[in-house]
Chain A
Amino acid sequence: MSINVGYFVRESIQNFRRNWVMSIGAVVTIFLSLLLVGIAMSFGYIASGIVQSVESKVTIQVFLKDGAPVADVDALQATLVSDPLVKGVDYVSKDEALEKFKTDMAESPEIVANIRGNPLPASLDVTLKDPREVEAMVAKIKANPQFTKIADRPSNPEESLKYGQQVVKKLFAVTRIIRFVLIGFVIVLAVVSLIFINNTIRIAIYARRKEIAIMRLVGASNWFIRTPFFMEGILQSLIGAVLAIALISSTTAWLLPKVREAIPFLPLTLSSGDMAQISFVLVLVGIMIGLIGSGFALRRYLKV
């Protein structure tokens, strides 16, 4: 049998035109469903960006006693840098610590004015590759003799380390919950939209069951009957997905800078890489739902 590609293209476009109310209904449903999924994903990416930036602020400050020999400090720094858990170690001198303290406290000039000399110790600020390893790293540092030698308070090494012990634990508990909730939300929405889209396609196919019955009667093969429906389904899904992507990307491009201005302490960003991932998922999910939905809906009418 000759494969008549022209027939399928003509038939799909004609069907789209003749049943445009149905087609628009399907496109709008797909668009709205994918929009919801896309919005949930955007929130997910933004939230995980915030979570990451909060987590990455978890550092261990190792306070050094005044006048610790430079050689010992360098030695400790070298040991820490070579540790597999550690991303980087910054040396903060006494003067730098004071400067930072003054800028942090710029709103309370009376405190700054009362400082005599420099009571602040120098420190090594340790950032970790995975902030969740903070407890393990702290234990390692404590056990290190190089550390006890130059710690600010050698009698009580506990007080020479600062990493917000309680806060860290709570923070990770919260961020884990946020991640689970977002993933669950996206999954639920995806399922809901699958049901939505599947129903719409079924209605569209039901409206044309007579045509299908006649095609079967005169001996059209099953794939011949299916192909135009699949092509229509893909076309509708693609249009729906493109609309959803366009709306999401333009909205975030317009809205995010404004939100950032309003709440500057939260790092709200949706990188173009994230947006590309969202677009990819939406197109893929849309096409898959279009194909699976059409396939399932057609099966009923194609039973021989």
Chain B
Amino acid sequence: MIRMRGVDMYYASDKPALTDCDVDIEQGEFVFLVGHSGSGKSTFIRLLLREILPSNGTITVAGQDLTKMKSWKVPYLRRNIGCVFQDFKLLPNKTASENVAFALEVIGKSRHVIRTQVPEVLRLVGLEDKIDSYPDELSGGEQQRVSIARAFVNRPPLLLCDEPTGNLDPQTSLGIMKLLERINKTGTTVVIATHDRDMVDSMRKRVIALESGRVVRDQDRGVYGYVD
């Protein structure tokens, strides 16, 4: 699903944000990407979304080499990648169902498809009774569920999450993680960048640890492992 070979990323010329990265993630895996702030987690996610291009090396996502991809093709790549962020990125003037429908509208899906898929995915994330609520009428956990619903409504094979529980309390975070795990069970590859120690320790999934832009550990059924 994801293959990184010798990836370096320099924002400024002196200090690399990511260096010499070799990572393989298979279809259907559930992976935690852990590390301190500034260790390169977000750079990792942004590279996979092709928001940025690596300074060196190659990145392949779903069989496509991102470093050679034409920029007009990038939108089509992103249709195969759902993303979830710490700050939810919902449109405040649209309801929950409109926010989810928006993701389908802008990739040109018909109204019929939208009418059937949006309620279905909102049911999946457990918000069937909040479909007409605006984001500011929803709790943080509920907003994150809407944003997961939006990321998943198109059934992408890959779901990237950048600190999805960063703004949420432990109880709510657990609910979000369970939801992501359920999505993973449908065959979707899930990559989560996080520094939520308890979550990583309790889930016992594959953990890739980054430190100053280097992969320092990659273990199955791993734990967070740092001392903060």
Q: Do A and B come from one complex?
A: yes
Alpha-carbon distance between A221 and B71 when the two chains are bound, in angstroms = 10
A18: which B residues are within 8 A, CB to CB? 93
Among B98-106, B118-126, B138-146, the one that faces the other chain is B98-106
* B89→A219 contact, CB < 8 A: no
Interface size class on chain B is 20 to 34
**Interface flag for A304 (CB, 8 Å):** yes
**Interface flag for B72 (CB, 8 Å):** yes
**Interface flag for B63 (CB, 8 Å):** no
Within 8 A of A (CB), among B24-78: 49-51, 71-72, 74-78
* A7→B105 contact, CB < 8 A: yes
If A214-B102, A304-B50 touch, does A219 touch B107 (CB 8 Å cutoff)?
yes
CB proximity of A181 to chain B, nearest CB, Å: 47
* B78→A224 contact, CB < 8 A: no
* B72→A214 contact, CB < 8 A: no
If A2-B108, A7-B105 touch, does A221 touch B72 (CB 8 Å cutoff)?
yes
If A18-B93, A211-B91, A304-B71 touch, does A216 touch B108 (CB 8 Å cutoff)?
no
Nearest chain-B residue to A2 (Cβ)?
B108
Within 8 A of B (CB), among A1-24: 1-4, 7, 18
B107: which A residues are within 8 A, CB to CB? 1, 218-220
Alpha-carbon distance between A47 and B117 when the two chains are bound, in angstroms = 66
Interface size on A, residues (CB 8 A): 21
CB proximity of B29 to chain A, nearest CB, Å: 22
**Interface flag for B150 (CB, 8 Å):** yes
* B89→A210 contact, CB < 8 A: yes
The contact string, 1 if C-beta is below 8 Å from chain A, for chain B 78-115, is: 11110100000101010000000011011110100000
A interface majority secondary structure: helix
* A214→B91 contact, CB < 8 A: yes
* B150→A218 contact, CB < 8 A: yes
Alpha-carbon distance between A298 and B91 when the two chains are bound, in angstroms = 19
* A219→B77 contact, CB < 8 A: yes
Nearest chain-B residue to A225 (Cβ)?
B106
* B75→A221 contact, CB < 8 A: yes
**Interface flag for A215 (CB, 8 Å):** yes
**Interface flag for A173 (CB, 8 Å):** no
CB proximity of B83 to chain A, nearest CB, Å: 6
Alpha-carbon distance between A4 and B113 when the two chains are bound, in angstroms = 14
B150: which A residues are within 8 A, CB to CB? 218
Alpha-carbon distance between A185 and B75 when the two chains are bound, in angstroms = 45
A3: which B residues are within 8 A, CB to CB? 108
**Interface flag for A174 (CB, 8 Å):** no
* A214→B89 contact, CB < 8 A: yes
The contact string, 1 if C-beta is below 8 Å from chain B, for chain A 192-222, is: 0000000000000000001101111111111
Nearest chain-A residue to B85 (Cβ)?
A217
If A304-B50, A304-B71, A304-B74 touch, does A220 touch B89 (CB 8 Å cutoff)?
no
Within 8 A of B (CB), among A66-105: none
* A218→B74 contact, CB < 8 A: no
* A215→B72 contact, CB < 8 A: no
Interface centre among A7, A18, A211 (most CB of B within 10 A): A211
* B72→A222 contact, CB < 8 A: yes
B154: which A residues are within 8 A, CB to CB? 218-219
* A216→B75 contact, CB < 8 A: yes
Alpha-carbon distance between A7 and B105 when the two chains are bound, in angstroms = 8
* A220→B75 contact, CB < 8 A: yes
A219: which B residues are within 8 A, CB to CB? 75-81, 106-107, 154
- Residue numbers of B with Cβ under 8 A of A are 49-51, 71-72, 74-81, 83, 89, 91, 93, 102-103, 105-108, 110, 150-151, 154
Given contacts A220-B75, A304-B71, 20 further A-B contacts (CB under 8 A): A1-B108, A3-B108, A7-B105, A18-B93, A210-B91, A214-B91, A214-B102, A217-B49, A217-B83, A217-B89, A218-B78, A218-B79, A218-B107, A218-B154, A219-B76, A219-B77, A220-B106, A221-B72, A224-B108, A304-B50
Q: List 13 A-B contacts (CB under 8 A).
A: A1-B108, A3-B108, A4-B108, A210-B89, A214-B102, A215-B102, A217-B78, A218-B151, A218-B154, A219-B81, A221-B72, A221-B76, A304-B50
